[in-house]
Structure formats: structure tokens, C-alpha cells
A and B are shown apart, each in its own frame.
Chain A
Amino acid sequence: MTASTRHPADTIPTPPGVTLEPGPDDKLILSMGPHHPSTHGVLRLILELDGEIVVHATPDIGFLHTGIEKTAEGLTYQQVITVTDRMDYLAPLSNNLGYALAVEKLLGVEAPPRAQVIRVILAELQRVSSHLVWLGTQGMDLGAISVFLYALREREKLLDIFELCSGARMMASYFWVGGLLRDVPPQFEGAVRKILADFPARFDEYERMLTHNPIFLERTQGLGILSKEEAISLGVGGAILRGSGVDWDLRRDMPYSGYEQYAFDVPLGARGDVYERYLLRVREMRQSLRIVKQALDRLPEGPVRISDRKIMPPPRAELATSMEALIHHFKLFTEGFKPPPGEAYQGIESPKGEFGVMVVSDGTAKPVRAHFRGPSFVNLQSLAQMVRGRYIADVVACIASIDIVLGEVDR
């Protein structure tokens, strides 16, 4: 092709070592993305095609780079919460949780029991909502459009709950270092109970549409296989890891936020294909509801913020009467709190795998380094392995089954 007949997408620079020029062997080089309906955002794949078969796939990331880690260095510890929302924007509360726990570890404090239980409830609902988006997009990428609309209909109900608590449907910023933004409103319990009552039947409905659908089986079984060893060496997490038969869930194996107090199963697969991941995620949603139910039954009374005024601002009412409260409030919102020098790492089981937060403090009010280990980023590495030698249509199904969120891949 001459320069004048290039497609606009072909003019975007390619990663080092990858070229869009056709090689001597007449392979078709297809620049799939960054604007493509099923790359789940702005992922770009450079596919080397032999007919419809993928010879080689190179993911090209960075189109949604927002510099979140660098931004965090210029914010106080509490302010960083808001930027964590924007990484995995389908599971902002999980990001909040990971970060809040890491900073709490650095400070050597622990959120009050009520806050911990509410965190678990919301983190599990967040898992369900994230999985619902995955389910919908997985269905839609295979051409089953109705599943997408059903799944998002249910997700709306969950977003309503997040809105009830935090005022925001997506960017909740609800988990703070040392507790919660505020206590949940009185309607909260009823709303969650309604979800617990409604959702299992809805999951059955999706399963009726997909689990035994011959076309769905044909499209997903034996596709995107990742062996146990490959899964471990690539460092993938979440349903991809468990789908390949590695029994690893941080909620059970390295508990945080009191997860050890809840009874739940970790669904485990063996075949490591797209269908297995589908089954696991649907089962995980049911397990999440089980955890939510237990947590709701034992929801203790009490404060949702730690009483340490050097970390958490005092209640609003105190400001009018107490000079000390006013000073604390002023100090916290102008300067922030200062954790002791040191570093802390906290990994949590986010809907997509291990979401890890590494915070380094030099004793000032801002983190000197905040690093986020994004599960989408790590899981995406397995894509090239999964699609080699498969059809273009399979690429789409594999991307969906990895369940990436580009906001977090690129950060």
C-alpha cells in the first residue's frame, strides 16, 4: 500500500519491533483498535492474519494512560482515594478497599468493625456488578445482545445501592482511610435484602440463555486455553487463574477485612477455557451474594470511622462547639495526615484478580510512591498466548473472557 491509501488507524505509531507493513509471506496485518467495538475501550491489537486465522497478536496499550500513579504522588493520602476510583472503573470500591487497607497498614490502624462489614458487603456487591458487565460483554461479543441488556439492567440496581451510600453511582470514593465516608442510610439494609432475594433468579435466567446453548458452547469450549503452569508463570489472577485449576483466592488464602469470618466456596475449574471462566464467574456471583447475606445478618452497630482525630476528621456537629475539633478539621483538610516513614503492600481479591497497592511514605502528608498492581494489566498478557492459531472471532471472545478494563491496564 502507498501512503495515500492507508487507513487512518495505520498511522498510529506501533510498539517497538512491530510493523504494519505486510511481510514477504503475504500475511494480512490488521490494526484492530484502538477504536473497535469489542476491544473494551482503547486496546489495540496488531494481528497478523493468515486468512481469518491469527498467526500472531501483539497488544498495544497506553491509549488511556492517565498518569494515576504519578498524580497520587501530588495528593494527600486521603485524596488519592478519588483517583483509585478511576482505574478499574467497573469496580471502584474494590480499588478504594485495596488502597485504604494499604494506607491503614502503613498507619497501623484498623477500621471499626461496622465499617469493615459494610466494606465487605459493598466489595462483594461490587464484584457482582463487575461480573455482570463482564457477562453482558461476553454475551454481546459472541452476538447474544439480550444478555448484555439484562446484565446491565441488574447492574443498575447495584449502582442504586452505591448511590444510596456514597451519592455517586460509579466513582463512589466511599471507603476512606480509617473507615467510611459516612454511615449507610437506614434504607440500605432493605435495598440489599431485595437484591439478595431477586438476583439468584436472574442468574438462573442468564444461565438458561447461555449455559446450555449449543452455539454458546461451540463458541467457548476449548477456546483460549491456558494451562495451569502457563497461568502461574504469566501471573494471571481471578477467574482465569482458577479456571486453569489453581486454587487461589486472596479472600480465603490471605484474608483481609475479616473475610476469614465468612463461609464461602471458591469455585475451581480445570479446563482453563473461556467456557470454564464463564461458569466460574457466574458461580462467583452466587458466592458473593452468600457472603453479603452473612455480612448483613451480623452487621454490628457502632461508628464507621476510627476515633483518631489525626486521621479522620471529627463529626460536623463538633466543629461548632469544640476548638480542638476545628483545628483537627483544618489540619486534615489543608495538610492531611502523615504516616510514619516506611512502606506497605496490600493485595485484595478484586473482581478481576489480585489488585495490589504498594504505598511508600517518607513521613510527609503525600505518598512518595504509590504503585498499583492492576489485575487487568497482568491478565491481558495472556491474550497473545490464547489467540495464537485461532480465528478473529475467537480473539473477541478471549478479550471478553479476560475481562479487562483499560482504565486500569493503562492507569
Chain B
Amino acid sequence: MSEDILLIVIKVAVLIVILLTVVAYTVYVERRIMARMQSRIGPNRVGPFGLLQPLADILKLIFKEDLTPAGADKVTYFLAPALAAITGLAAFAVIPFGNTIDLFGIKVNLFIADINVGLLYLFAMSSLAVYGIVLAGWSSNNKYSLLGGVRSSAQMISYELPLGLALVSVVLAAGSLSLGDIVKAQANLWFIVQQPLSFVIYFICAIAETNRAPFDLPEAETELIAGYHTEYSSLKWALFFLAEYMAVITVSATAVTIFFGGWQGPFLPGWLWFVIKLSGFIFFFTWMRATLPRLRFDQLMRLGWKVLLPLAALNLVVIAGLVAAMGG
């Protein structure tokens, strides 16, 4: 038993280190790819090919002055970024990123916890993340922050529903809420082939969930300066940054797990397949950011409530009917 706990603690520690590194390099890769798309060069000064740029950025952020605006609600102002970052990291705990491997004679499962309500947990964490943003917007004593916070709460709540419905249809087909079981259910056929519509709905909502272009309204820099994190600086700002990219990685990882067969793939080891698929998604996020203009607040709401939600509900009904008809 104590060995198990030790193993879990080690896994958590290793995973956090890996995730933080991945976030740092996601930023680097995004900047390089965007630069290439926009006929620029991108970061290439620090280290070979600019590979040490993330390290330089982090160091810079640590040494920046940490400001709290006059009139801010100090406790909330302090807690908001922590909340955003913690939920972002915690969500990753249930995602299986590889098959069981043999390490020094011990069988190690490549996920932290395969709980039987994994998907529900994932929802819970992403819903909690919105509090970080709302509280940050509210506590900053800045009108732009407030507007950003209001926007993001409205946006995340509206998109949570179709997102959930899209995933429920997968749950119906797989017959389990556990992400490990959902991956195993795709051994023969990925769910993207079986339920393309669910995937499209999921992915659109996921972009809105993560506040990324073209749904990056809460921090639309040309309208609200920096939205909810206008007043944040130094490490607090870095935590929001971390949370945003963690969210990108988490929704991408979820998409890989639920629709693209997770870590399964021929020839290569499971974790490598996982990384390859994940990179594809992150590239896609970057690509969209470099290409698309931003939607307006009301248009975003309209899309969420009038298009995606009915579509997701219809999709769910059809899938449920099919599952019942096939004697599921």
C-alpha cells in the first residue's frame, strides 16, 4: 500500500515537471510556428534556435515587480491566479497518456488516477477554472478586467453545455465514464470515425472553453487591453498564462483520448503516439490563432446557444437511439 502511494507521489511529481516543461515549450513552439506563418523569424536568440527562450521568459517573469492595484480585493486578487493554475494542472490527473509500462520490474500505469468518473472529474476541473478568471476580473478594480471576467463566465458557462452533451454521446457508445475504458473501447475504431459530429462540436466548444482564438474574447487585447489579467504582473500573470496553456493541452489531450484512440497506435510506443497526436492539436490551435479574426460577444453567445446546443442535443438523441437499437 505504502509502495503504491509512493509510486503515485513520484508520478505526480514527474508529471507536474513534465507538464510545466511542456507548457513552456508549447509557448515556444507556438511562437515559432506563428512567426513562420506571419513571415517573421520568432524567438531565436537565447540558446540554439532560441530553445532556451522559455527559461529566459520564466526568469524574467519571476523578477518582475508584483503589483496589486489600489482598491483591489487583495485576498481574491491573490487567490484567483492560483485557482486557475491549480485546476488546470489537476485536470490532467485522469488522462491516460500511455499504456502500462514495465519500469525496474514494477508495472507502471501511465496515468495518475483511472477513476471511474474520470470524464466527470475533467468537467468539474474545467468548470472550476472559470472561477479563477471571474474572480480575477472582479477583484482587480479595473473596468476592463471586469468586462473580461463577465465575458469569460458567460462564455464558459454557455459552452460547457454543448461540450458536455458531445462527450456524453461518446460515453454512451463506450459505456463508461472512465477515460481508460474509453481509450480501450477505441481499439478497433476511433470515435472520430464513429461520431464525427460529436468531435466537431466538442472541438469548437473546447476552443471557447480555453479562451483561444477565434473565441479569445475575455482577453481580446484590441478591445479590453488584456481582459481579466490586465492588472496582473509577475508570477501571478505567469500563472494565468500557465493556466491558459494548460487548458489548451488538457482539451487537446481529452480530444486525443476520447476521439483519436488515446495512446493507441501501431509500431511506436503508446506515449509517443499520444505526444504526436497532441502536437497535432496544438499545431491546429496555433494555426487558427494566426488565421482567424475574433467573434463578437453576442455572436459567440448565439453560436453557443442557438447552433451548438441544439445540434449537440440532436446528436445525443441520435447516438442514444443507435446505441439502443444495436442492443448496447
- Contact for A145 among B71, B225, B290, CB less than 8 A: B290
The verdict on A5 contacting B293 (CB below 8 Å), with A37-B222, A143-B214 known, is: no
- Is A248 in the interface zone, CB < 8 Å from B? no
**A55 close to B (CB within 8 Å):** no
CB-based contact A141/B222 at 8 Å: yes
Q: In whole angstroms, how far apart are the Cα atoms of A349 and B147 in the complex?
A: 40
**Which B residues from 24 to 43 make CB contacts under 8 A with A?**
37-40
- In contact, B220 and A393 (Cβ under 8 angstroms): yes
Contact A142 B293 (CB under 8 A): yes
Contact in complex: B297, A215 (CB < 8 Å) = no
Q: Mark A207-224, 1 if CB is under 8 A from B, else 0.
A: 001100101101100000
Q: Are B147 and A392 in contact (CB-based, < 8 A)?
A: yes
Q: With A7-B143, A391-B297 in contact, is A143–B222 under 8 Å at CB?
A: yes
Return chain A residues, CB-CB under 8 Å to B221: 37
**B298: interface (CB < 8 Å):** yes
Please determine whether A144 and B39 come into contact, CB atoms closer than 8 angstroms: no
Residues of A within 8 A of B222 (CB): 37-38, 140-143, 396
Given contacts A150-B38, A153-B39, contact A215 B71 (CB under 8 A): no
**Is the pair B39, A393 in contact by a Cβ cutoff of 8 Å?**
no
Tell me the smallest distance from the CB of A138 to a CB of chain B, in Å.
10
Task: Write the chain B residue with the least CB distance to A53.
Answer: B298
Docked complex: B287-328 residues within 8 A CB-CB of A:
289-299
Chain A residues closer than 8 Å to B225, beta-carbon distance: 36-37
Q: Mark B189-224, 1 if CB is under 8 A from A, else 0.
A: 000000000000000000000000110110011111
Given A37-B222, A392-B223, A396-B223, answer yes or no on A146-B293 (Cβ-Cβ < 8 Å): no
List residues of chain B with CB within 8 A of the CB of A368. none
Q: Tell yes or no: B141 within 8 A of A by CB.
A: yes
Q: Which of B143, B147, B214 contacts A215 (CB 8 A)?
A: B214
With an 8 A cutoff between CB atoms, is A353 at the interface?
no
On whether the beta carbons of A215 and B293 are closer than 8 Å, the reply is: yes
Known A37-B222, A143-B216; contact A219-B298, beta-carbon cutoff 8 A: no
Nearest-Cβ distance from residue A273 to partner chain B, whole angstroms: 14
Count contacts on A: residues with CB < 8 A to the other chain.
Answer: 34
- The residue on A at minimum CB distance from B224 is A392
User: Which residues in chain A, 36-85, are within 8 Å of chain B measured between CB atoms?
Assistant: 36-38, 52
Please tell me if the beta carbons of B70 and A209 are within 8 angstroms of each other in the complex.
Answer: no
B155 CB to closest chain A CB (Å) equals 12
CA–CA, A145 and B37, complex, Å = 11
Residues of A within 8 A of B294 (CB): 142-144, 215, 219, 393
Chain A residues within 8 Å of B291, by CB = 144, 146, 209
Chain B residues 117 to 137 lying within 8 A of chain A, measured CB to CB, are none
Q: Which residues of A contact B223 (CB under 8 A)?
A: 38, 392-393, 395-396
Given contacts A4-B70, A5-B70, contact A149 B296 (CB under 8 A): no
Chain B residue nearest to A51 (CB atoms) is B150
Residues from chain A with Cβ under 8 Å of B296 in the complex: 218-219, 391, 393-394
Chain A, range 4-53, C-beta contacts under 8 Å to B:
4-5, 7, 28, 30, 36-38, 52
Q: Cβ of B39 and Cβ of A150 under 8 Å apart?
A: yes
Cβ–Cβ < 8 Å partners of B178 in chain A? none
Q: List 20 A-B contacts (CB under 8 A).
A: A52-B151, A140-B222, A141-B222, A142-B222, A142-B293, A142-B294, A143-B292, A144-B291, A144-B293, A145-B38, A146-B38, A146-B291, A153-B39, A213-B293, A215-B214, A218-B296, A218-B299, A219-B293, A393-B217, A396-B222
Give the 6 A-B residue pairs with the shortest CB-CB distance, closest first.
A143-B294, A5-B71, A144-B293, A149-B38, A142-B293, A38-B222
